[in-house]
């Protein structure tokens, strides 16, 4: 639904055709209701509007599923918390408006969507902030590709650890650099086994005390530094 006005913005009439071409001296604008809309009606109207097209009207008529949404002008990505080296849902904003999001699901996660690789789940949001469209992009991976992703995941675990707990990371790296580097390169349980043993048997009381220290969790409880580290390893 559109509204036709004169050149001074005075409402003349409504048209059902969104592609209506106004006669000379008239202008087609977004629908102007005869009576002021209630908050509920505005909300319903906003839920039907794709924020991508509200923020980028020049994309109207294009198949947005084929566009490179990462490179839209002035788009900003909201950083997400890492879980075992994997980023959560990445949300993209223009100004204060949520435009779209992306989340990857991997073959090694519980009940994988794509056992042969990964799936990128893309969501478009409405002007009201609700999901208005979603689709999945499947990517099958070779054995070498999978090993690359697993190594990258292990690297990200310690990059995130270093950025969030630099002093703790430096302490552990000073005593367990070989085990950490081997874990990143090839995986395995040597690092976790070494840390478990170190909590009670390491020659340094600082290492023992640090690994045994109780720290708060995001859920409101507590855990030891050791268990917090082990929970992040894969």
Paired strand residues for 90: 102
Q: Edge to edge, what strands does the sheet with 90-94 contain?
A: 76-78, 90-94, 97-106, 117-125, 131-140
Dist. CA 11–CA 55, nearest whole Å: 25
Whether the predicted pLDDT of 37 surpasses 80: no
Q: What is the mean pLDDT of residues 76-82?
A: 79
Sign of the torsion formed by the C-alpha atoms of 18, 21, 23 and 25: positive
User: Residue 76: in which H helix or E strand, if any?
Assistant: strand 76-78
* Burial per residue of 10-36, b for 16 or more beta-carbon CB atoms within 10 angstroms, e otherwise: eeeeebeeeeeeeeeeeeeeeeeeeee
Give the percent of the chain with pLDDT over 90.
Answer: 60
pLDDT tens digits, one per residue of 184-210: 999 999 999 999 999 999 999 999 999
pTM of the predicted model as reported, rounded to 2 decimal places: 0.68
User: Sorting pLDDT into bands at 50, 70 and 90, what band is 171?
Assistant: very high
> Could you please report the per-residue DSSP string of 170-215?
HHHHHHHHHHHHHHHHH--SHHHHHHHHHHHH-S-HHHHHHHH-EE
**CA triple 141-143-145, angle to 5 deg:** 55
Whether the predicted pLDDT of 48 surpasses 80: yes
Paired strand residues for 27: 5
Greater confidence, 163 or 80?
163
User: Sorting pLDDT into bands at 50, 70 and 90, what band is 63?
Assistant: very high
Greater confidence, 60 or 88?
60
pLDDT tens digits, one per residue of 132-165: 999 999 999 999 999 999 999 999 899 988 988 9
Whether the predicted pLDDT of 75 surpasses 70: yes
Query: For tokens 């478990």, what's the residue?
Result: 196
């Amino acid at each position: 639904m559109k509204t036709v006005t004169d050149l001074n913005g005075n409402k003349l009439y409504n048209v059902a055709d969104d592609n209506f071409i106004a006669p000379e001296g008239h202008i087609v604008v977004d629908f102007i209701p005869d009576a002021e809309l209630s908050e509920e009606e505005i909300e319903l109207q906003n839920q039907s509007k794709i924020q991508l097209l509200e923020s980028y009207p020049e994309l109207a008529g294009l198949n947005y599923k084929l566009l490179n949404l990462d490179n839209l002008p002035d788009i900003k990505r909201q950083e997400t918390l890492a879980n075992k080296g994997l980023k959560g849902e990445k949300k993209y904003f223009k100004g204060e408006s949520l435009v779209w999001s992306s989340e990857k699901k991997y073959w090694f996660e519980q009940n994988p969507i794509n056992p042969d690789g990964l799936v990128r789940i893309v969501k478009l949001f409405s002007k009201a902030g609700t999901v208005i469209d979603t689709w999945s992009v499947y990517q099958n991976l070779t054995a070498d590709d999978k090993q690359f992703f697993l190594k990258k995941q292990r690297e990200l675990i310690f990059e995130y650890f270093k950025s969030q707990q630099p002093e703790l990371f430096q302490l552990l790296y000073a005593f367990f650099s070989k085990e950490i580097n081997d874990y990143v390169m090839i995986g395995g349980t040597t690092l976790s086994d070494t840390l478990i043993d170190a909590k009670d048997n390491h020659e340094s009381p600082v290492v023992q005390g640090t690994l045994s220290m109780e720290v708060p969790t995001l859920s409101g409880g507590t855990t030891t530094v050791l268990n917090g580290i082990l929970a992040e390893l894969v």
